[in-house]
A = this chain, B = another copy of it.
Amino acid sequence: MNLLKDKIISEGIVLSDTVLKVDSFLNHQMDPQLMKAMGEEFAHRFAEDKITKVLTIESSGIAPALMAALTLNVPLVFARKQKSLTLREDLIVERVHSFTKQVTNDVTVSRKYLSPNDTVLIIDDFLAVGEAAQGLARITEQVGAKVAGIGIVIEKSFQTGRQTLIEAGYRVESLARIASLHDGSVQFIEE
């Protein structure tokens, strides 16, 4: 998606060979027009998949997922992150380790908002090793719902996440695929 790639080139900050900071338009400040365009692009790519629900994880996933849900005209559910949780019957809980932040969270969704009849589009801001997306997929499957696919804003294609998700049988649609962050410069995979 060229609009997003242009934004990454002009405003992204390469902090290391593995970390790209996009606080100016995605993770702290947000560009609403870009969010809308990204949501529409996700909706377009999954237009034939009879999506009934979009699932994401707080906080940076909410904006692109909301715009996708708006375009698809289905509800959005955002999973909560909690440090650790007392077990509650009404919650589905998966433990997820964040590669980027080096923290482990319990990711939770209420059983009320996913049903076996749902076809779910999972959306997240970044894909690195794929832990968050896998956690959301496991949550979806625990209730017997179907994962239609995983929509990612920025994929770090030099990490293992995409491969892991594809080997697990998931369709992955990323709006920007980054081949490398070497030498402070962003190289995309051209598609």
Q: What 12 new A-B contacts, CB under 8 Å, besides A28-B110, A59-B62, A62-B66?
A: A24-B112, A28-B77, A29-B110, A30-B75, A32-B66, A32-B76, A58-B58, A59-B59, A59-B78, A63-B63, A63-B66, A63-B76
This chain: how many copies in the complex?
2
CA distance A139 to B112 in the complex (A): 37
Residues on B with beta carbons closer than 8 Å to the beta carbon of A10:
none
Q: Categorize the interface residue count of chain A.
A: 20 to 34
Residues on B with beta carbons closer than 8 Å to the beta carbon of A69:
30, 32
CA distance A125 to B76 in the complex (A): 16
Could you tell me if B113 and A75 are in contact, using CB atoms closer than 8 angstroms?
Answer: no
Q: Verify if A36 is at the interface (C-beta below 8 Å from B).
A: yes
Q: Verify if A123 is at the interface (C-beta below 8 Å from B).
A: no
CA distance A89 to B89 in the complex (A): 43
What are 7 A-B residue pairs whose CB atoms fall within 8 Å in the complex?
A28-B109, A32-B66, A35-B66, A35-B70, A58-B59, A59-B78, A59-B80
A56 to chain B, nearest CB (A): 10
